[in-house]
């Protein structure tokens, strides 16, 4: 089972590596980081580079595709090379997944039309223009499309997906080995829980249109 994780300039690292760490442990999984060109791809801050081991042209029939988000998503909305690759591989995937603003890329490729999906909380409003019903949920399954909310939510998404692919026991085994027993020291991980002025501050500075 081939799992392709797409990379593009200024992606958010944890969007890609969270699901990678979980899905790569599914029995029989063969993961590959894929991008327009092979070699290092820099993240949003420029201080991390993940190597793309294959090009889009080389990965034509992955069973699962995962699209991360990040500030680099905005220019990718007009990158026909990425969007047509997404449409092409989606024709034969078992699961097409995204994390964070990666769902805006799936939407721009026309893959989420009429479906329920989620995204980073700051981008939930933006996804409406693609005929997508945004939900505030952390992980959304709609048919073979699986979307996750912001950044860290890709871990929850990947565990749920691992369960669908390989069964509950395999997913629990992955959770145990990655010791995923979260104990955040604060309770500010969603706009409903964080201090209201922090939420307002981030909305004011977002690159996405806010409600």
Nearer of residues 88 and 188 to a copy of itself, judged by Cβ: 188
Is 20 a binding residue for a copy of itself by CB under 8 A? The answer is: yes
CA distance 194 to 80: 37
Among 17, 59, 108, 111, binds a copy of itself (CB under 8 A): 17
Among 27, 94, 129, 198, binds a copy of itself (CB under 8 A): 198
Angle at 74 (CA atoms; ends 80, 202), nearest 5 degrees: 165
Nearer of residues 131 and 168 to a copy of itself, judged by Cβ: 168
State the nearest-atom distance from the C-beta of 96 to a copy of itself, in Å: 19
Is 65 a binding residue for a copy of itself by CB under 8 A? The answer is: no
Is 48 a binding residue for a copy of itself by CB under 8 A? The answer is: yes
Is 80 a binding residue for a copy of itself by CB under 8 A? The answer is: no
100 is catalytic: yes
Is 200 a binding residue for a copy of itself by CB under 8 A? The answer is: no
Q: Determine how many CB atoms are found less than 10 A away from the CB of residue 75.
A: 11
Segment interacting with a copy of itself (CB under 8 A) among 86-94, 106-114, 125-133, 171-179 = 171-179
Is 135 a binding residue for a copy of itself by CB under 8 A? The answer is: no
State the nearest-atom distance from the C-beta of 120 to a copy of itself, in Å: 6
Is 92 a binding residue for a copy of itself by CB under 8 A? The answer is: no
Burial 8-40 (b: 16+ CB within 10 A, else e): bbbbbbbbbbbbbbbbbbbeebebebbbbeeee
Phi first, then psi: what are they for 125, rounded to 5°?
-70, -35
Residues within the interface to a copy of itself (CB under 8 A): 12-14, 17-18, 20-21, 24, 30-33, 40, 45, 47-51, 53, 100, 120-121, 138-139, 149-153, 155-156, 159-160, 163, 168-169, 171-173, 175-186, 188-191, 193-195, 198-199, 201-202
Catalytic annotation, residues:
100
């Amino acid at each position: 089972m081939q799992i392709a994780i797409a990379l593009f300039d200024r992606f958010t690292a944890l969007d890609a590596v969270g699901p990678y760490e979980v899905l790569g442990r599914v029995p029989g999984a063969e993961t590959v980081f894929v991008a327009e060109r092979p070699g290092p791809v820099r993240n949003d801050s420029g201080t991390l580079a993940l190597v793309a081991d294959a090009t889009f042209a080389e990965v034509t029939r992955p069973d699962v595709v995962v699209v991360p988000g990040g500030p680099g998503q905005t220019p990718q909305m007009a990158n026909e090379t990425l969007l047509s690759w997404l449409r092409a591989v989606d024709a034969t995937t078992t699961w097409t997944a995204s994390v964070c603003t990666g769902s805006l890329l799936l939407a721009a490729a026309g893959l989420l039309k009429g479906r329920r999906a989620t995204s980073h909380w700051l981008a939930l409003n933006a996804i409406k223009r693609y005929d997508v019903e945004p939900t505030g949920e952390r992980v959304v399954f709609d048919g073979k499309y699986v979307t996750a909310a912001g950044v860290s939510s890709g871990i929850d998404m990947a565990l749920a997906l691992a369960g669908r692919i390989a069964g509950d026991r395999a997913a629990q085994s992955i959770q145990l080995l990655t010791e995923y027993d979260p104990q955040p020291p604060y309770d500010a991980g969603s706009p409903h829980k964080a201090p209201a002025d922090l939420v307002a501050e981030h909305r004011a500075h977002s690159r996405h249109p806010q409600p």
